[in-house]
Amino acid sequence: MSETRKHRRSAEHPPVQVSQPTKKQKTSPPIEWKSCEAFWNTLSRIHLTKGALRELDRRNARYSPSRERRTARTSITKQESPTAADFLRRCGSRQAKELQRFARRGGPDLSSLEGYSEPVVPCPVMSSRLSTQRSGPNLTTKPATINTKSTGPYSRNFEQKLIDNGIFLDGYEYSDGIGEPEPANIGEIMEKLEQRRPSLSPSRFGKEEFRSFVRYDRNAKKEDEVRISVVPVIMGKVKDSRTISGGIPFGKLKSMVEVDENESGEKLTAPKPDIYHGARPEQLKKSIRQNLSSYIIPSTQEDLPIAPNHFFEVKGPGGSLSVALRQAGHDGAAGARAMHHIQSYGQDEVEHDNKAYTFSSIYHGGQLKMYAHHPGLSEEGKTEYYMNQVNTYAMTGNINGFRAGAAAYRNSVDLAAEHRNRLIARANAVLQACQSTSTASTGLDFSTSVARPEDTASETPAEDDEDDNNNNNDDDDDDDDDDPEMRPPRKGARASHPN
């Protein structure tokens, strides 16, 4: 009987298969921005961090005399400083008379000069020697260089850089004490996340499965262990591996911060979410992909998911929650920008409906935190990106808490897919309309090269859930629609595609 249960659990929660690049990726520490002059010059406020001190040392070294030059100057001065007897022997008769006149009656009061170091003013002999040595290879002047260490979201200055560029993390307050605005569809989001999942019913996820999850979480000491053993239980079964990936820098995306063309150096490197969900590349028509590539195609390997709008950041027990928040905020802003560009494709004006179509999650220390991201307009008319917490779930406290958190996560993946597919279908329809107009005016036939929006919407697998039969789902294992224990009430039922 126990073997049957073990086999059932392993089948229900297989390891997450994340699509990876065909080429082997070089492993590197998590970095988000590189220390450079442009980065520090554009910060509105600089926090006292190790990176800031390194930058101060670098600048001080540039404008102060080199150590080599100071050492050489000191050694030359010491070698050429004559004694009193040597000086008197070198003096001529005229200098000797002047010295006697100067020293009569004990000479002037020199107590005010006591403690001063010997002036570094070489005599003519010293000048000739110094000029000779300067022309030699040993004292060749070289620009002072200090290797600066790359850092990232582990610095508070990283967060300040995001704020200066209109990317606000959860909990941000303006100077007047007012917090960042919530998305206009926050109520719909929360209602969607609270929907039950048949796959988490007592008949399919019971106490034994929950105890196994708690054991996985307790034994995972490193971030990779959490990602391999804990996260798959939360996510459930992945039905389309081509819509999920992770651990890949979004190096092809345009930077989320403004770059001064007159300043060299990179301000922020690309986001690198642990897990992300996006669309198959072929869902969005090629001409649109090419037009919006710097906003929606994250990697140079173009068969990976595009238009990412759901992200998962994972930390081990010793990891920093504040670091994860900065990472998730950076990820979510990139995703919200991608959705915004697809939404505004072909429109005369950029559309701002203040709704969130992008989501992120953080798992740390047995807690699952979920966030919504949406763009908005600042008072100056610039696009800003806001991050709002939707809910927090204690995943290891009891089975009901786990069910609520896991259901919310899976529902958020479904909701992100709904919004993504709807916006992609809309962009494809705009392109089709433009090409139809061109066909009518030129007599060309585009019917074989442009798909209909409804064809695009069917390029991803259909949902299994009772409430999501018409959605394209990336991550779902809910095929038991007739489970009476988890059937949602009709009173709160909503349409498949939220507005």
Give the whole-angstrom CA distance, residue 398 versus residue 183.
31
Calculate the dihedral angle through the C-alpha atoms of 169, 406, 243, 314, rounding to the nearest 10 degrees: 50
| Better pLDDT: 312 or 457 | 312
pLDDT of 145-204, one tens digit each? 444 344 467 777 788 889 999 999 999 999 889 999 999 999 999 999 999 999 999 999
Diameter of the chain by CA atoms? 120
Q: What pLDDT, on a 0 to 100 scale, did the predictor assign at position 67?
A: 57
Q: What pLDDT, on a 0 to 100 scale, did the predictor assign at position 11?
A: 43
Give the whole-angstrom CA distance, residue 37 versus residue 59.
9
Q: What pLDDT, on a 0 to 100 scale, did the predictor assign at position 254?
A: 94
Mean pLDDT of the chain: 77
CB 299 within 8 A of CB 248: yes
Tokens of 232: 């798959």
| Better pLDDT: 477 or 238 | 238
Q: What pLDDT, on a 0 to 100 scale, did the predictor assign at position 455?
A: 42
Tokens of 69: 């030059």
Tracing tokens 């010295």 back to the chain, one arrives at: 99
Strand partners, 229: none
pTM reported for the whole predicted model: 0.64
Dihedral sign for Cα 395, 477, 336, 153, please: positive
Q: How confident is the model at residue 302 (pLDDT cuts 50, 70, 90)?
A: confident
Give the whole-angstrom CA distance, residue 117 versus residue 70.
15
Give the whole-angstrom CA distance, residue 116 versus residue 79.
19
Dihedral sign for Cα 224, 228, 230, 231, please: positive
Query: Residue 98: enclosing H or E segment and its boundaries?
Result: helix 93-103
Query: So where are the chain's domains?
Result: 30-56+150-492
Q: Is the pLDDT of residue 295 over 50?
A: yes
pLDDT of 132-147, one tens digit each? 444 444 444 444 444 4
pLDDT of 407-457, one tens digit each? 999 999 999 999 999 999 999 999 999 888 776 665 544 444 444 333 444
| Better pLDDT: 199 or 30 | 199
| Better pLDDT: 404 or 101 | 404
Q: Is the pLDDT of residue 496 over 50?
A: no
